């Protein structure tokens, strides 16, 4: 009669009661795991970007600063001469924010989980290094958690370390631990939640830790609630374990509800509003193909084939593979209906919190296959060949990931985002203190790093922005524009004749609002040329 391994019973639906601990690892393997974790954390600390750059990065930092000061809303910064209540509040709203219901206030659009981590890190290392500290620690923790998850699932030390190496070399993982966004952090907390749930088979208190990790994961990214089916499979069916899980999750859930109620008006509403139109059944197949294509390229076809073997095992009743499938499938299915999921290779970030389940499933299937081949090969050379084949598959996956990391220049992210603080310092020297600025891509960074009033040129109609510029000029605060060079064409197309170039520091361009044309009515711009279509 075939026996069920302790690890299989850990992920089972039927409660098996207290189970034996996983096999002990020799000290050498623990030292290897520690070396991998420390090396990866050091790499992230050296290459991660701390800067408020695009929408997400500046939005998270701005939200963190609000939370640190005990505030929930930011104040609109009116342009001199233009009362903000006379125009749409969106004109004065930087990236990462949305107008609040109350006049003159802005609400952050991103969830509070990542900003809360930044606040905690700022107490230890200051704001300038907070983002790097969070990302480096979370990235190192992710690899450790993958190793521990592999151990819980019954993988030998070599298999668990192989899974961690594949995750480390996955370009999307590295990209979103060097770029200040929440996807990597979400993956770390999801792994912690599953690990705690599996460990609860032996110790009920671990269920409370799983609940806490799950609540934090949802605070970081609300769609991490899709992890719940996997946790339901991993947790034992003992009432005490479920009560402990609920108790661990309660503080985070209450914090989430209180924050949403305070900021967005409803306990279950987040800053991601009006996104229903971005989901469609027509998106499903193209995005599934997109996910499969890039997963196959990054993690290689052999690992993908092994994962498919694991899916077959899950259908056949393997409780470990069923748990991993329940972790991966809801996340992939949800984002397969989402419009933006197909835009680039790095939009695999949406499914990054579930990628460890894919890797562990493939490695687990490969380890089972290796064990079967090992049992059928009687001679030593054959077993060495089997081990060599396994090593080749893992090595190919790691080498493929590294090659793609170099191809996309993932480790250059910090250097790329340096343009934001450098351009803002240059802008401050080139313009009068306190003068307003028209911006789009720079708007979030400007809002975080300066006190400048700003207006969104990409939202304002031509006649409105001309009126704002004229009033600001008469108030002694001339309007400038700070844009990237790739924004020049859409800026001039939307506001022809309004701005003239003043200076360049590539890729940033500084422009000033031109005085109104002679003979133009005061405070109003000349009508734009006819285009055959209504003005936006």
Is the confidence at residue 38, as pLDDT, over 90? yes
Average pLDDT, the chain: 90
Supply the DSSP string of 303-316, one letter for each residue: HHHHHHHHHHHHHT
Question: Is residue 507 pLDDT above 60, yes or no?
Answer: yes
Mean pLDDT on 473-500? 96
Tell whether the model's pLDDT for residue 11 goes beyond 80: no
Closest to 219 (Cα-Cα) out of 120, 133, 115, 122: 115
pLDDT of residue 493: 97
- pLDDT(46) > 70: yes
Q: Percent of the chain at pLDDT above 70?
A: 91
What is the distance of C-alpha 480 from the center of its chain?
Answer: 33
Summarize the confidence of residues 461-472 as an average pLDDT: 96
Q: Where do the domains of the chain lie?
A: 115-413, 418-513
235: its two tokens: 């947790």
pLDDT at 379: 66
CA nearest to 94, candidates 63, 50, 135: 63
Q: Are 470 and 455 in contact (CB under 8 A)?
A: no
Predicted TM-score (pTM) of this structure: 0.91
Residue 267's pLDDT band (cuts 50, 70, 90) = confident
Q: What is the pLDDT of residue 414?
A: 80
Nearest to 516 by CA among 457, 468, 459, 455: 468
What is the rounded distance in angstroms from the CA atom of residue 442 to the CA atom of residue 483? 7
Question: How sure is the predictor about 521, in pLDDT bands with cuts at 50, 70 and 90?
Answer: very low
> In sequence order, what are the beta bridge partners of 513?
499
What's the confidence (pLDDT) of residue 527?
33
Average pLDDT rounded to a whole number, residues 278-288: 96
pLDDT band of 522, cuts 50, 70, 90: very low
pLDDT band of residue 356 (cuts 50, 70, 90) is very high
pLDDT computed for residue 389 by the predictor: 82
Residue 2 pLDDT class (50, 70, 90 cuts): very low
Cβ–Cβ < 8 Å for 232, 364: no
DSSP state of 158: H
Question: How many whole angstroms separate alpha carbon 210 and alpha carbon 248?
Answer: 7
Place of tokens 């990236």: 95
For 296-336, write each residue's pLDDT tens digit: 999 999 999 999 999 999 999 999 999 999 999 999 999 99
């Amino acid at each position: 009669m075939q026996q069920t391994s302790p690890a299989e019973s850990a992920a089972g639906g039927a409660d098996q009661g207290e189970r034996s601990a996983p096999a002990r690892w020799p000290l050498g393997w623990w030292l290897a795991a520690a070396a991998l974790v420390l090396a990866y954390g050091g790499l992230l600390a050296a290459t991660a970007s701390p800067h408020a750059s695009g929408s997400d990065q500046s939005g998270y930092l701005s939200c963190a600063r609000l939370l640190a000061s005990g505030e929930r809303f930011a104040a609109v910064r009116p342009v001199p001469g233009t009362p903000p209540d006379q125009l749409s509040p969106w004109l004065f709203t930087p990236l990462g924010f949305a107008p609040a219901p109350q006049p003159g206030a802005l609400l952050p659009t991103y969830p509070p989980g990542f900003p809360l981590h930044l606040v905690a890190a700022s107490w230890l290392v200051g704001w300038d290094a907070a983002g790097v500290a969070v990302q480096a620690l979370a990235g190192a923790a992710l690899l450790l958690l993958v190793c521990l998850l592999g151990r819980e699932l019954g993988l030998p030390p070599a298999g668990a370390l192989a899974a961690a190496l594949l995750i480390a070399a996955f370009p999307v993982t590295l990209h979103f631990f060097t770029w200040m966004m929440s996807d990597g952090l979400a993956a770390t907390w999801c792994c912690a939640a599953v690990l705690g749930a599996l460990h609860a088979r032996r110790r009920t208190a671990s269920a409370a830790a799983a609940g806490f990790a799950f609540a934090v994961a949802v605070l970081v990214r609300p769609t991490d609630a899709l992890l719940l089916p996997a946790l339901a499979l991993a947790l034992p069916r003992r009432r005490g374990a479920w009560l402990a899980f609920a108790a661990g999750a309660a503080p985070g859930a209450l914090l989430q509800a209180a924050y949403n109620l305070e900021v967005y008006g409803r306990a279950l509403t987040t800053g991601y509003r009006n996104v229903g139109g971005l989901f469609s059944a027509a998106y499903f197949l193209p995005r599934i193909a997109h996910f499969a294509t890039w997963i196959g390229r990054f993690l290689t076809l052999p690992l993908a084939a092994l994962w498919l073997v694991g899916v077959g095992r899950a259908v056949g009743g393997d409780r470990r593979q069923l748990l991993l499938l329940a972790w991966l499938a809801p996340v992939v299915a949800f984002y397969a209906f989402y419009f933006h999921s197909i835009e680039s290779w790095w939009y695999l970030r949406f499914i990054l919190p579930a990628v460890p389940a894919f890797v562990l499933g493939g490695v687990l299937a490969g380890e089972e296959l290796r064990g079967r081949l090992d049992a059928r090969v009687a001679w030593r050379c054959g077993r060495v060949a089997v081990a060599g084949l396994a090593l080749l598959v893992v090595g190919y996956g790691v080498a493929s990931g590294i090659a793609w990391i170099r191809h996309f220049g993932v480790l250059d992210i910090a250097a790329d985002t340096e343009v934001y603080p450098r351009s803002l310092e240059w802008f401050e020297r080139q313009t009068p203190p306190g003068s307003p600025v028209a911006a789009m891509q720079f708007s979030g960074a400007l809002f975080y790093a300066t006190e400048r009033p700003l207006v969104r040129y990409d939202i304002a109609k031509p006649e409105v922005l001309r009126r704002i510029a004229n009033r600001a000029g008469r108030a002694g605060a001339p309007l400038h524009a700070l844009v990237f060079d790739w924004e020049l064409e859409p800026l001039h197309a939307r506001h022809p004749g309004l701005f003239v170039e003043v200076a360049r520091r590539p890729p940033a361009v500084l422009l000033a609002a031109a005085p109104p044309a002679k003979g133009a009515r005061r405070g109003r711009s000349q009508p734009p040329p006819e285009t055959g279509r209504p003005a936006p």
